[in-house]
Structures are given as structure tokens and as C-alpha cells.
Amino acid sequence: MVAAVKQPYQGDIFDILTTELDGLVADGYSALSSVVLDPASNAELLRDIELSIGAQASNRTDGTVAVYAVPSIDGTNYVDWDTGTATNSANEQYFIGSFTVNTGELVAAKAASFFSSPWGGKVKLAVRNQTGVAFAATGNTVKGRRHGFASQ
């Protein structure tokens, strides 16, 4: 019988989204990351991701930040992604998880999550700010770290 064993992290933590998040309005979708996550070149199956939000201008409670993996089927061109604040059903099909951001204080917040891309090829990440207030002008990031499984 073959068992799957989680492997340690494969490399250092790295930035996925940075300036794309600065000043992101309440209920707004960010631009796509400039970083491409490519399972073929990185031999990654799984990823831990960390969200850091700078101190916001007003309190937030019971907020979330949704994460989306937007695919490139041909490896070059990415499917349509709509930034802005309107709920976009086309965007929602790429939802892969969310961060809970619960703090009623005007402090920076940090959260971590795990995801496995549903796509076999390249993806870019984007987020939707559902905290109820705009993100800070600076200090907002999504970072990632790869890991995988091996057979024993």
C-alpha cells in the first residue's frame, strides 16, 4: 500500500500580491497578481498563503477577504477578470477560499490559509475585500509558500 506523506516547505515564503491591494475599496476585487503560480515549473501541489492587512482607517468586524485562482488554459492568456465593486458571477467561479479578519481595532491584521489550485496549469491570484472598509494605503500583502506530497 502506498501512503501519501506531506513534504516540508519547498523554498522561502514569497510575495504574490502587494501593491495590487493598496487602498482596495470595500467590496472591491483586486487586480490579478503579477506573480504566476505554475505547478509545472515548481512541482507544487499545495500552498500555504498569508494575508497581511495594514491598519485601516476605520474599524472592521466580521470581515473576510476572499481569494480567487484565475487560470490560464493556454499558459499565456488569462480568463477575463473584472475589478471593481459589483458582484461579478464570472469572478465567483474562481473562488478558492477566504481569510477571516475579525478585529474591531485600527490595527494591522494577519491571517493564514491553505489552498490547492483546482487548475492543472498556471494561475494568478486576486482577492475581494469584504472587510467593510477600504484597505490601508500601504502594508497589504498576500504571500505564499509551496509544499507537496510524496509517496512512501
In the DSSP assignment, the letter for residue 13 is -
28-43 average pLDDT score: 81
Q: Give domain status of residue 10, yes or no.
A: no
How many Å apart are CA 96 and CA 34, to the nearest integer?
18
If we measure between CA atoms, which residue out of 4, 129, 118, 143 comes closest to residue 60? 129
94 in a domain, yes or no? yes
Better-predicted residue by pLDDT, 69 or 147: 69
Compute the distance between CA of residue 141 and CA of residue 39 in angstroms, rounded to an integer: 21
Residue 7 covered by a domain? no
Range of the domain at 32: 15-145
Which grid cell sits at 86? 459589483
The predicted-structure confidence for 64-112, as pLDDT tens digits, reads as follows 888 888 888 888 888 888 787 666 667 888 888 888 876 655 555 666 6
Q: Residue 63's domain is classified under what CATH number? A: 2.60.120
Any domain includes 107 = yes
